[in-house]
């Protein structure tokens, strides 16, 4: 299928394939170190990781294919892996298998061989296998499979040298290698049909430029949608005659054995594997220590009574860890950005340009980059839980609850991170949905996690609580937390019944053996996520910051007001004459007033006033609306914008805290306060989150949907509270 010559080829293309939890990423990190690059496969959200390494003057470009158990067309990950091997024709495919669980891991190997890929099998975790008393005869295994086999311990890098040597040797010999499919027998019912189909395919050169003939036949029997569709397009006639074979065989099998071709084919693959792994190749003896340890741990952490308690404790620790350690760095970021802002302010003359750079770009991007420390710590903690194997247990314990709402056990983490325990952040929350494989359950999770109480909503709550419920801080917070869960799960349930309709995807989940993750792996994992977020801040987030700034700045002041300020300025300078210090002080005061006047006249403020026609149903006046608009930049901004708006319209000019101002404001009372609290909790995610939603779903429409849908939900609930209270006479 493929021939490569080292002499005239300076770069070899190597693909890494393997099951989830086989140590594939560890091997990838070990081979490429920091020299890796993460992108997405065009049009879909599957990550494409590539890295480069060099050995004996040959450069190796390594692609880490998504972890899969199989190579069917059912999931995007599997299609991506399969298409890459077929279309990019890598010089060799390194198939990593867990030596302690060889039987199941070889299932993928068999399918790679069926596909005719040039495979090198890596037996990873040989140290654990040895500890567990598993003896593997490498030479015999290699001979039986007809491919090179390299034992390794990817965590420590043991066997890396040998692997690289084998790759170079293998690639220079591929021409001599017979990479065509090894003869696997699928039994007396299937083999003869397969032979006939293979002949037809060969005679007509039916897609044989891409795939081995027998493999095409096999896929027709397995009713592989991708291949059948391709076949229909290539040659309708041959395709339908192949389908006919498949149909007949299926009928025959249903009648005689009450089964179907796909099942028999799978049985024979496992049969082939058992034949390969006879006693002379693999020998189990003694005790299974690591696995017994896992069983012992599981007995406690998934125990019906103790399990949930331990889970809450662990999740709480993740929280404590993240927010305790990111608090200082977040402050440093803020200081850094205000320092830069002040610097620019002192260099550039006051005016639109200064305002754009300081208030638009630096403040906006600064607000978003302020999340970076949180993301770093949160993802470090999650990567740790994931790589140890504990996260799978969380999914196991909570699946039953989440399934009720049309979600999946794997949704749990996203909800908790986003603020399931008040104080999370929806940005890493949305990013954490990657463990969900099904797109509908995943999108339902992505769209509902922003309802949770993230850290940025907390200062808003604090001000309102201080103003209206000073004695009940904890109680109000508890109510808000419970309400967030209730509404988020209910909305997920509604979405799954309407827009995201579909049967639940199979849960079937591996509970991996507990392992201590490598520090290097954790760091790389964390850095990847963080970098993706930072890159986003440089593009879409920058654009939206500028837009929001423009809305709060333009169209500037009307002519008569401009004149008014100008006259005032001249008056100050002329009356105070030589008293420079006093002039400066008074001019600053004028400048402040001017800024507020500009804001008052801005599009944002006009929009806020226009919106009050609608928002009066939930009891909000225009100043609140402006603040909520500003909250789209970041929820903390609500407080600062409200502060500005309320102090501006205070004619007395008294300098009092916002919460006091609100408690005295005739437009505010405890009903409005509740409506406002619930609105802030539910309405549009901040734009950093929206950007993440767009990135994670790969579609703009879900970002826009989340803005509109969440705001609509918020409006409904706030109106319900306000009008309901009015109706029962609380107002």
Which of 12, 18, 67, 69: binder of another protein (CB under 8 A)?
Answer: 69
- The distance between the two most distant Cα atoms of the chain, rounded to a whole number of Å, is 109
Name the minimum Å distance from CB 399 to another protein: 6
Q: Does 266 participate in binding another protein (rule CB under 8 A)?
A: yes
- The residue among 29 and 100 lying less far from another protein, judged by its C-beta, is 100
Which of 173, 191, 298, 345: binder of another protein (CB under 8 A)?
Answer: 298
**Contact between residue 363 and residue 300 where contact means Cβ atoms under 8 Å apart:** no
- 117 Cβ contact partners less than 8 Å away, ≥ 6 residues apart: 85, 90, 93, 179
Q: Does 291 participate in binding another protein (rule CB under 8 A)?
A: yes
Name the minimum Å distance from CB 498 to another protein: 23
Q: Does 292 participate in binding another protein (rule CB under 8 A)?
A: no
Residue listed under structure tokens 């993740």: 318
**Contact between residue 64 and residue 53 where contact means Cβ atoms under 8 Å apart:** no
Binding segment for another protein among 44-52, 66-74, 490-498, 637-645 (CB under 8 A)? Answer: 66-74
Calpha distance 547→360 (Å, rounded):
8
Q: Does 234 participate in binding another protein (rule CB under 8 A)?
A: no
Name the minimum Å distance from CB 511 to another protein: 4
Name the minimum Å distance from CB 90 to another protein: 23
Binding segment for another protein among 294-302, 528-536, 578-586, 668-676 (CB under 8 A)? Answer: 294-302
Of residues 403 through 442, those in contact with another protein by CB under 8 A are 403, 409
Which of 41, 55, 325, 396: binder of another protein (CB under 8 A)?
Answer: 396
**Contact between residue 521 and residue 30 where contact means Cβ atoms under 8 Å apart:** no
Name the minimum Å distance from CB 54 to another protein: 36
User: Judging by DSSP bridges, how do beta strands 119-124 and 92-98 pair with one another?
Assistant: parallel
**Contact between residue 135 and residue 285 where contact means Cβ atoms under 8 Å apart:** yes
Torsion of CA 716, 721, 722, 728, to 10 degrees: 130
Calpha distance 106→95 (Å, rounded):
9
- The residue among 380 and 402 lying less far from another protein, judged by its C-beta, is 402
Which of 72, 586, 710, 719: binder of another protein (CB under 8 A)?
Answer: 72
Calpha distance 692→449 (Å, rounded):
12
| Closest listed residue to residue 364, CA positions, set 355, 351, 373 | 355
Which of 232, 267, 567, 660: binder of another protein (CB under 8 A)?
Answer: 267
Torsion of CA 217, 219, 225, 229, to 10 degrees: -30
SS3 353: helix
- The residue among 274 and 667 lying less far from another protein, judged by its C-beta, is 274
Q: Does 485 participate in binding another protein (rule CB under 8 A)?
A: no
Name the minimum Å distance from CB 222 to another protein: 9
Residue 556 φ then ψ, to 5°: 85, -155
Which of 157, 308, 329, 459: binder of another protein (CB under 8 A)?
Answer: 308
Name the minimum Å distance from CB 652 to another protein: 59
Torsion 512-515-520-522 (CA) sign: positive
- The residue among 125 and 681 lying less far from another protein, judged by its C-beta, is 125
Name the minimum Å distance from CB 189 to another protein: 15
Binding segment for another protein among 291-299, 411-419, 452-460, 655-663 (CB under 8 A)? Answer: 291-299
Calpha distance 211→471 (Å, rounded):
72
Torsion 204-207-210-212 (CA) sign: negative
Q: Please tell me whether the peptide bond between 576 and the residue prior to it is cis, using omega within 30 degrees of 0.
A: no
Binding segment for another protein among 255-263, 588-596, 642-650, 661-669 (CB under 8 A)? Answer: 255-263
**Contact between residue 359 and residue 351 where contact means Cβ atoms under 8 Å apart:** no
Query: Would you call 308 exposed, middle or buried from its count of C-beta atoms within 10 A (0-12, 13-18, 19+)?
Result: middle
Give me Rg for the CA atoms of the chain.
Answer: 31
- The residue among 376 and 397 lying less far from another protein, judged by its C-beta, is 397
Name the minimum Å distance from CB 449 to another protein: 22
Entry field: residues in the chain: 731
Name the minimum Å distance from CB 33 to another protein: 30
Number of residues in contact with another protein under rule CB under 8 A: 43
Of residues 73 through 112, those in contact with another protein by CB under 8 A are 74, 100-101, 103-104, 107
Name the minimum Å distance from CB 134 to another protein: 9
Which of 25, 32, 53, 70: binder of another protein (CB under 8 A)?
Answer: 70
Name the minimum Å distance from CB 655 to another protein: 55
- The residue among 312 and 353 lying less far from another protein, judged by its C-beta, is 312
Of residues 491 through 520, those in contact with another protein by CB under 8 A are 505-513
Name the minimum Å distance from CB 391 to another protein: 13
Name the minimum Å distance from CB 402 to another protein: 11
Going from the C-alpha of 406 to that of each of 430, 444, 704, 712, the distances in angstroms are 17, 8, 22, 21
User: Judging by DSSP bridges, how do beta strands 149-151 and 119-124 pair with one another?
Assistant: parallel
- The residue among 331 and 510 lying less far from another protein, judged by its C-beta, is 510
- The residue among 294 and 612 lying less far from another protein, judged by its C-beta, is 294
Q: Does 388 participate in binding another protein (rule CB under 8 A)?
A: no
Binding segment for another protein among 399-407, 459-467, 483-491, 651-659 (CB under 8 A)? Answer: 399-407
Binding segment for another protein among 112-120, 264-272, 561-569, 675-683 (CB under 8 A)? Answer: 264-272
| Closest listed residue to residue 31, CA positions, set 5, 1, 63, 7 | 63
Which of 47, 173, 262, 665: binder of another protein (CB under 8 A)?
Answer: 262
DSSP 8-class letter at 406 = T
Residue 703 φ then ψ, to 5°: -65, -50
**Residue/partner pairs of 608-616 with CB below 8 Å, 24 or more apart:** 614/715, 615/715
Q: Tell me the two tokens of residue 423.
A: 């104080």
Name the minimum Å distance from CB 84 to another protein: 19
CA 127 to chain centre: 33
Name the minimum Å distance from CB 70 to another protein: 4
Which of 130, 241, 294, 601: binder of another protein (CB under 8 A)?
Answer: 294
- 196 Cβ contact partners less than 8 Å away, ≥ 6 residues apart: 245
**Contact between residue 535 and residue 373 where contact means Cβ atoms under 8 Å apart:** no
| Closest listed residue to residue 49, CA positions, set 69, 70, 34 | 34
Q: Does 397 participate in binding another protein (rule CB under 8 A)?
A: yes
Binding positions for another protein, rule: CB under 8 A? 69-70, 72, 74, 100-101, 103-104, 107, 260, 262-263, 266-267, 270, 288, 291, 294-295, 298-299, 302, 304-305, 307-308, 392, 396-397, 399-401, 403, 409, 505-513
């Amino acid at each position: 299928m493929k021939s490569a010559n080292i002499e005239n080829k300076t770069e070899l293309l190597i693909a890494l394939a393997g099951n989830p939890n086989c140590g594939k990423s560890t091997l990838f990190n070990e081979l490429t170190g920091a020299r890796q690059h993460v992108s997405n496969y065009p049009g879909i959200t599957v990550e494409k990781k590539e890295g480069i390494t060099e050995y004996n003057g040959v450069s190796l470009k390594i692609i880490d294919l998504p972890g899969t158990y199989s190579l069917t067309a059912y999931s995007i990950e599997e299609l991506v892996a399969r298409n890459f091997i077929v279309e990019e024709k890598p010089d060799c495919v390194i198939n990593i298998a867990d030596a302690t669980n060889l039987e199941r891991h070889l299932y993928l190997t068999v399918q790679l061989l069926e596909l005719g890929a040039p495979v090198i099998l890596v037996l990873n975790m040989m140290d654990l296998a040895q500890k567990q008393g598993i003896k593997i005869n490498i030479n015999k295994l290699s001979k039986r499979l007809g491919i090179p086999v390299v034992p390794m311990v990817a965590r420590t890098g043991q066997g890396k040298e040998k692997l690289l040597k084998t790759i170079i040797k293998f690639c220079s010999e591929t021409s001599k290698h017979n990479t065509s499919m090894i003869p696997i027998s699928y039994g007396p019912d299937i083999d003869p049909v397969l032979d006939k189909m293979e002949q037809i395919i060969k005679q007509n050169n039916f897609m044989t430029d891409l795939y081995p003939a027998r493999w095409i036949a096999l896929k027709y029997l397995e009713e592989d949608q991708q291949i059948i569709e391709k076949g229909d397009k290539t040659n309708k006639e041959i395709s339908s005659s192949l389908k006919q074979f498949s149909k007949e065989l299926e009928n025959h099998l249903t009648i005689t054995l009450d089964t179907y071709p796909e099942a028999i084919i799978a049985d024979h693959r496992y049969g082939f594997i058992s034949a390969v792994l006879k006693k002379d190749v693999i020998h189990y003896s003694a005790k299974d220590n690591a696995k017994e340890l896992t069983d012992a741990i599981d007995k406690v952490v998934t125990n019906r009574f103790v399990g949930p308690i331990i889970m809450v404790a662990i999740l709480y620790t993740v929280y404590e860890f993240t927010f305790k350690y990111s608090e200082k760095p977040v402050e440093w970021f803020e200081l850094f950005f205000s320092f830069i802002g002040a610097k620019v302010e002192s260099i550039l003359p006051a005016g639109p340009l200064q305002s754009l750079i300081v208030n638009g770009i630096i403040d906006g991007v600064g607000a978003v980059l302020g999340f970076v420390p949180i993301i770093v710590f949160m993802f470090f903690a999650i990567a740790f839980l994931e790589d140890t194997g504990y996260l799978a247990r969380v999914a196991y314990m909570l699946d039953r609850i989440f399934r009720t709402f049309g979600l999946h056990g794997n949704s749990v983490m996203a909800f908790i991170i986003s603020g399931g325990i008040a104080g999370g952040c929806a940005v890493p929350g949305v990013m954490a949905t990657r463990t969900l494989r099904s797109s509908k359950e995943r999108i339902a999770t992505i769209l509902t996690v922003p309802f949770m109480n993230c850290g940025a909503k907390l200062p808003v709550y604090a001000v309102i609580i201080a103003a209206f419920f000073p004695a009940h801080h904890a109680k109000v917070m508890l109510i808000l937390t419970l309400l967030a869960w209730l509404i988020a799960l209910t909305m997920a349930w509604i979405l799954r019944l309407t827009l995201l309709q579909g049967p639940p995807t199979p849960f079937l989940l591996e509970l991996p053996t507990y392992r201590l993750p490598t520090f290097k792996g954790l760091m790389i994992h964390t850095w990847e996520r963080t970098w993706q977020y930072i890159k986003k801040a440089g593009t879409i987030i920058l654009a939206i910051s500028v837009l929001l700034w423009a809305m709060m700045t333009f169209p500037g002041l009307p002519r008569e007001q401009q004149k008014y300020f100008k006259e005032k300025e001249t008056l100050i300078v002329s009356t105070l004459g030589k008293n420079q210090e006093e002039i400066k002080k008074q001019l600053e005061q004028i400048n402040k007033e001017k800024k507020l006047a500009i804001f008052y006249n801005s599009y944002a403020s006009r929009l806020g006033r226009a919106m009050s026609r609608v928002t009066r149903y939930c009891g909000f006046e225009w100043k609140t609306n402006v603040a909520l608009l500003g909250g789209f930049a970041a929820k903390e901004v609500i407080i600062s914008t409200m502060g500005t708006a309320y102090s501006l319209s205070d004619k007395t000019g008294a300098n009092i805290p916002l919460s006091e101002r609100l408690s005295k404001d005739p437009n505010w009372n405890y009903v409005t306060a509740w409506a406002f609290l619930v609105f802030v909790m539910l309405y549009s995610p901040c734009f950093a989150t929206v950007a993440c939603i767009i990135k994670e779903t790969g579609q703009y429409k879900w970002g826009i949907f989340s803005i509109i849908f969440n705001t609509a939900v918020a409006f409904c609930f706030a109106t319900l509270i306000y009008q309901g209270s009015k109706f029962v006479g609380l107002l």
